[in-house]
Amino acid sequence: MSPPLPAYPGKPARAGAGWSQALAAPDRAARIPRPGGWLKFDAGWLLPEQAIRNLETGVSLLQTANRTLEDMAALVNRLLAQVNLAWREGDRSCPPPAALGEELSHGVQQVNEWAGRCRFHGRGLLDGQSGVAGLGRGVFFLRGGPGTATSPPEGYAVRLHGLPSRAAITGGVPLHDDWLRAEQEVFLAEGDAFVRCLPQAGEGVHEFLARLQEAVVAAGLDLEIGITRQRRLIVRHNQHGSHFKFKGSSRKTPILSKRPGKIEWSRPGRDIQGTLDGERAFGIGRMLVGYLDNARTSELAVLWRGGSLAEGNEGRVYVVQNGIVFQDRQDMRQPMARLTLPSLYAYQLGAWLETRSGFSGLADARVATWPQVQDTLNLLFVVSCELEDWGERLGGWIERYQGQALRFLRQHGPDGAPAPDMGQETQAREMARTLRQWMGQAPPAGAP
């Protein structure tokens, strides 16, 4: 079970409280996180120093989140290197080393601690207090964006019109020992990885399928070997959706490719189809995402994991918009700046990835067996990419608001004040120095 979310400031849940009652989940905390702390921004018709103070606060907030994000990325990359080394050089005849599992468990615990402790002026930044938080029933809440609106107490309806499927190749004939003895080679390829498996003398159907599955795993193909009710060989991709494909062939018989010796591409998988609160959404595998121009569900993403749905293939998602909104200009008629930071608890990282071991996020990762080691390796790679993507976003926001503050200082700063250097390495230092000079604050000893 994934670790529970930490407690947040606020009144305890009470019977009939609507939100608290509706958002309760059996394996999560009883409440969606709500903003806490004493973070304040000036609003209204602002003086120049007030607008700059808002920008400086926003940049400091983003830098605090970015430092924790960099620590998380370094930790995940270190775990990725350790698991990759164990997978490449480990002895498959023995179980994976126990120290690897201890290191992974400690790393997951560290990620949860950092996500809960990353705060600015008492407000959580990476725990859902500064982004879009949510819970789902029948579906799993993944994320939201700046345009995602808080749902009513009954939540948003998630109606599925088409369930996702996986790419597959099905053999042309029932798989019997006679066909297997006549076959020389089964070939499977996905991307740059491939495997060639030759039936052995005296080998039965089930022994061959087990050996083919082992060869597929060892070659790094994300495929599953099975047999249909008509006893035909079927090879499926482990990920749902239209983005994944592979190819294969059987050299002498139609046990895999219907034309022996010819490469056959997999039948395409389907993406999930549905609507979010009646608004349009597009599917990526099992993930349903609201379009950017939706009025209420813009960038809202939910995941269907094959769980039970209500009548009419309907689930529910309960959403709270906790994004940070502040005024970055003097004129209150201008659009507000909006920041939506991610929630980076371990159970939410890599939650969309499908694995043979059934992991539903980084919090479920295990390395007790070698198949689990391979699945954990894939999961850590996905998590590393997620953190890298968020790091690039935060870095872009920091650069944007630093540049905006410095341009504002050039326009409204005191006469004779030196123009701050716009170089990326010195922006933060020059902005702080000029702001202290302008507001008449003497810098403390040792300050830049």
Share of the chain above pLDDT 70, in %: 84
- Checking if the pLDDT of 421 tops 60, the result is no
Would you say residue 194 has pLDDT above 90?
yes
Note the pLDDT of residue 242. 93
The pLDDT of residue 12: 31
pLDDT in tens, 233-251: 999 999 999 999 999 999 9
Which tens digits make up the pLDDT trace of 259-308?
999 999 999 999 999 999 999 999 999 999 999 999 999 999 999 988 77
Q: Is the pLDDT of residue 443 over 60?
A: no
Identify the CA nearest to 324 among candidates 151, 135, 132, 152.
132
Of residues 135 and 9, which shows the higher confidence score? Answer: 135
* φ, ψ (nearest 5 deg) of residue 164: -75, 160
What integer is the mean pLDDT of 314-323?
92
* Token duo for residue 23: 């958002």
pLDDT of 433 above 70: no
Retrieve residue 324's tokens: 């940070």
Averaged over 79-93, what is the pLDDT? 92
**pTM for the predicted model, two decimal places:** 0.80
Kindly report, residue by residue over 30-56, the tens digit of the pLDDT.
468 888 888 888 888 888 788 888 888
Does 435 have pLDDT greater than 70? no
Helical axes 48-89 vs 427-438, angle rounded to 10°: 160
Count of beta carbons in the 10 Å neighbourhood of residue 118: 24
Q: Domain spanning 60-126+325-441: which superfamily?
A: f41 fragment of flagellin, N-terminal domain (1.20.1330.10)
DSSP 324-372: EEE--SS-TTSPPEEE-PPP--TTTTTTT---TT---SGGG---SSHHH
Q: What is the pLDDT of residues 334-383, one digit of tens each?
A: 778 889 999 999 999 999 998 989 998 999 999 999 999 999 999 999 99
pLDDT level of residue 14 (50, 70, 90 thresholds): very low
pLDDT number for residue 193: 92
Average pLDDT, the chain: 84
Domain boundaries, the chain: 60-126+325-441, 166-265
